[in-house]
Amino acid sequence: QLKQHLALEPGGAEDRVIKRKLLEGEGRSAGEQKVKRGLWSPEEDEKLFKYVSVCGHGSWSSVPKHAGLQRSGKSCRLRWVNYLRPDLKRGAFSEQEERIIIEVHRVLGNSWEQIAARLPGRTVNEVKNFWNSCIKKKLIAQGLDPQDPQPPAGLQDSPPRQRGKPVNNPLSQFTEH
Protein backbone atom coordinates (compact mmCIF):
# COMPACT_ATOMS: atom_id res chain seq x y z
CA GLN A 1 0.00 0.00 0.00
CA LEU A 2 2.93 2.33 0.69
CA LYS A 3 4.26 1.84 -2.85
CA GLN A 4 0.82 2.64 -4.21
CA HIS A 5 0.61 5.72 -2.02
CA LEU A 6 4.03 6.97 -3.12
CA ALA A 7 3.07 6.51 -6.77
CA LEU A 8 -0.14 8.48 -6.36
CA GLU A 9 -0.52 11.97 -7.60
CA PRO A 10 -0.84 14.24 -4.53
CA GLY A 11 -4.42 15.32 -4.11
CA GLY A 12 -5.67 12.73 -6.59
CA ALA A 13 -8.75 10.54 -6.06
CA GLU A 14 -6.74 7.56 -4.78
CA ASP A 15 -4.91 9.79 -2.30
CA ARG A 16 -8.21 11.07 -0.93
CA VAL A 17 -9.55 7.50 -0.51
CA ILE A 18 -6.49 6.46 1.52
CA LYS A 19 -6.74 9.57 3.70
CA ARG A 20 -10.45 8.91 4.29
CA LYS A 21 -9.76 5.29 5.28
CA LEU A 22 -7.06 6.39 7.71
CA LEU A 23 -9.37 8.99 9.23
CA GLU A 24 -12.19 6.46 9.55
CA GLY A 25 -9.95 4.09 11.43
CA GLU A 26 -9.08 1.52 8.79
CA GLY A 27 -5.48 0.50 9.10
CA ARG A 28 -5.32 1.19 12.84
CA SER A 29 -3.85 -1.42 15.11
CA ALA A 30 -6.33 -3.51 17.08
CA GLY A 31 -5.68 -1.62 20.34
CA GLU A 32 -6.25 1.86 18.95
CA GLN A 33 -9.65 3.49 19.22
CA LYS A 34 -11.10 6.19 17.04
CA VAL A 35 -11.01 9.54 18.85
CA LYS A 36 -14.38 11.24 19.10
CA ARG A 37 -14.61 14.92 18.30
CA GLY A 38 -17.32 17.52 18.66
CA LEU A 39 -19.77 18.18 21.47
CA TRP A 40 -19.50 16.31 24.73
CA SER A 41 -22.52 14.27 25.83
CA PRO A 42 -23.81 14.39 29.42
CA GLU A 43 -22.70 10.74 29.77
CA GLU A 44 -19.13 11.63 28.76
CA ASP A 45 -19.13 14.56 31.19
CA GLU A 46 -20.28 12.24 33.96
CA LYS A 47 -17.58 9.65 33.20
CA LEU A 48 -14.84 12.28 33.16
CA PHE A 49 -16.14 14.01 36.29
CA LYS A 50 -16.39 10.76 38.27
CA TYR A 51 -12.97 9.53 37.16
CA VAL A 52 -11.06 12.75 37.85
CA SER A 53 -12.93 13.37 41.13
CA VAL A 54 -12.05 9.91 42.45
CA CYS A 55 -8.65 9.19 40.88
CA GLY A 56 -7.29 12.62 39.97
CA HIS A 57 -6.00 13.27 36.50
CA GLY A 58 -2.36 12.19 36.78
CA SER A 59 -1.28 12.15 33.17
CA TRP A 60 -4.02 13.58 30.96
CA SER A 61 -2.98 11.31 28.09
CA SER A 62 -4.00 8.25 30.17
CA VAL A 63 -7.32 9.68 31.41
CA PRO A 64 -9.49 8.82 28.37
CA LYS A 65 -8.53 5.14 28.48
CA HIS A 66 -9.06 4.78 32.24
CA ALA A 67 -12.29 6.82 32.23
CA GLY A 68 -13.73 4.83 29.32
CA LEU A 69 -13.79 7.77 26.91
CA GLN A 70 -12.96 7.91 23.23
CA ARG A 71 -11.46 11.39 23.52
CA SER A 72 -7.94 12.73 23.41
CA GLY A 73 -6.13 13.59 26.63
CA LYS A 74 -6.05 17.23 25.56
CA SER A 75 -9.80 17.25 25.02
CA CYS A 76 -10.36 15.74 28.49
CA ARG A 77 -8.04 18.29 30.10
CA LEU A 78 -9.77 21.23 28.41
CA ARG A 79 -13.22 19.91 29.31
CA TRP A 80 -12.20 19.52 32.95
CA VAL A 81 -10.40 22.85 33.25
CA ASN A 82 -13.04 24.94 31.47
CA TYR A 83 -16.34 23.23 32.37
CA LEU A 84 -16.28 20.45 34.96
CA ARG A 85 -13.89 21.55 37.72
CA PRO A 86 -15.87 21.81 40.98
CA ASP A 87 -14.21 25.11 41.94
CA LEU A 88 -15.32 26.93 38.79
CA LYS A 89 -17.09 30.20 39.41
CA ARG A 90 -20.04 30.87 37.10
CA GLY A 91 -21.99 34.02 36.49
CA ALA A 92 -21.21 37.70 36.30
CA PHE A 93 -17.87 39.09 37.37
CA SER A 94 -17.95 41.15 40.56
CA GLU A 95 -16.73 44.74 40.72
CA GLN A 96 -13.75 43.53 42.73
CA GLU A 97 -12.87 40.97 40.03
CA GLU A 98 -13.19 43.67 37.37
CA ARG A 99 -10.82 45.96 39.34
CA ILE A 100 -8.31 43.14 39.74
CA ILE A 101 -8.38 42.41 36.01
CA ILE A 102 -7.84 46.10 35.15
CA GLU A 103 -5.04 46.55 37.70
CA VAL A 104 -3.18 43.37 36.78
CA HIS A 105 -3.67 43.98 33.04
CA ARG A 106 -2.13 47.40 33.53
CA VAL A 107 1.04 45.74 34.85
CA LEU A 108 1.18 42.48 32.89
CA GLY A 109 -0.67 43.30 29.67
CA ASN A 110 -2.42 40.39 27.94
CA SER A 111 -0.92 37.69 30.19
CA TRP A 112 -4.30 36.04 30.65
CA GLU A 113 -3.00 32.97 32.51
CA GLN A 114 -1.29 35.15 35.11
CA ILE A 115 -4.36 37.38 35.43
CA ALA A 116 -6.73 34.39 35.78
CA ALA A 117 -4.44 32.92 38.46
CA ARG A 118 -5.40 35.90 40.66
CA LEU A 119 -9.11 35.14 40.26
CA PRO A 120 -9.86 31.75 41.86
CA GLY A 121 -12.49 29.80 39.95
CA ARG A 122 -12.23 31.84 36.75
CA THR A 123 -10.81 30.30 33.59
CA VAL A 124 -8.28 31.94 31.31
CA ASN A 125 -10.86 32.12 28.51
CA GLU A 126 -13.49 33.68 30.78
CA VAL A 127 -11.10 36.41 31.89
CA LYS A 128 -9.86 37.13 28.36
CA ASN A 129 -13.40 37.20 26.96
CA PHE A 130 -14.61 39.46 29.79
CA TRP A 131 -11.75 41.87 29.08
CA ASN A 132 -12.42 41.96 25.34
CA SER A 133 -16.21 42.07 25.47
CA CYS A 134 -16.82 44.28 28.50
CA ILE A 135 -13.92 46.00 30.23
CA LYS A 136 -12.05 47.11 27.11
CA LYS A 137 -15.23 48.60 25.61
CA LYS A 138 -16.09 50.30 28.90
CA LEU A 139 -12.63 51.90 29.11
CA ILE A 140 -12.84 53.07 25.48
CA ALA A 141 -16.31 54.55 26.13
CA GLN A 142 -14.77 56.50 29.05
CA GLY A 143 -12.14 57.87 26.68
CA LEU A 144 -9.37 55.72 28.17
CA ASP A 145 -6.83 53.65 26.27
CA PRO A 146 -7.14 50.02 27.45
CA GLN A 147 -3.45 49.47 26.65
CA ASP A 148 -2.34 52.55 28.62
CA PRO A 149 -0.33 51.50 31.66
CA GLN A 150 -1.79 54.34 33.77
CA PRO A 151 -4.74 53.22 35.90
CA PRO A 152 -8.17 54.77 35.52
CA ALA A 153 -8.78 57.40 38.22
CA GLY A 154 -9.39 55.94 41.65
CA LEU A 155 -8.20 52.44 40.89
CA GLN A 156 -4.75 52.61 42.34
CA ASP A 157 -2.79 55.10 44.43
CA SER A 158 0.64 54.13 43.13
CA PRO A 159 2.45 56.70 40.99
CA PRO A 160 1.82 56.27 37.26
CA ARG A 161 4.50 54.56 35.23
CA GLN A 162 6.16 56.63 32.54
CA ARG A 163 5.51 55.34 29.05
CA GLY A 164 8.43 53.71 27.29
CA LYS A 165 10.36 52.88 30.46
CA PRO A 166 10.66 49.18 31.26
CA VAL A 167 9.33 47.91 34.56
CA ASN A 168 11.50 45.56 36.64
CA ASN A 169 13.88 45.05 33.74
CA PRO A 170 17.38 44.34 35.04
CA LEU A 171 18.84 45.28 31.67
CA SER A 172 17.31 48.78 31.73
CA GLN A 173 20.39 50.22 33.42
CA PHE A 174 22.39 49.39 30.30
CA THR A 175 20.08 51.02 27.78
CA GLU A 176 19.59 54.68 27.00
CA HIS A 177 16.31 56.26 28.07
For residue 46, the 8-state DSSP code is: H
The pLDDT of residue 144: 84
Locate the DSSP E strands across 31-123. Answer: none
Q: Worst-scoring range by mean pLDDT, 14-28, 95-109, 150-164? A: 150-164
The pLDDT of residue 137: 87
Nearest to 77 by CA among 89, 90, 53, 61: 61
17, pLDDT greater than 80: no
**Confidence band of 23 (pLDDT split at 50, 70, 90):** very low
Average pLDDT, the chain: 77
CA 128 to mean position of chain CA atoms? 10
Burial classification of residue 98, based on how many CB atoms lie within 10 Å of its CB (0-12 exposed, 13-18 middle, 19 or more buried): middle
CA distance 44 to 122: 23
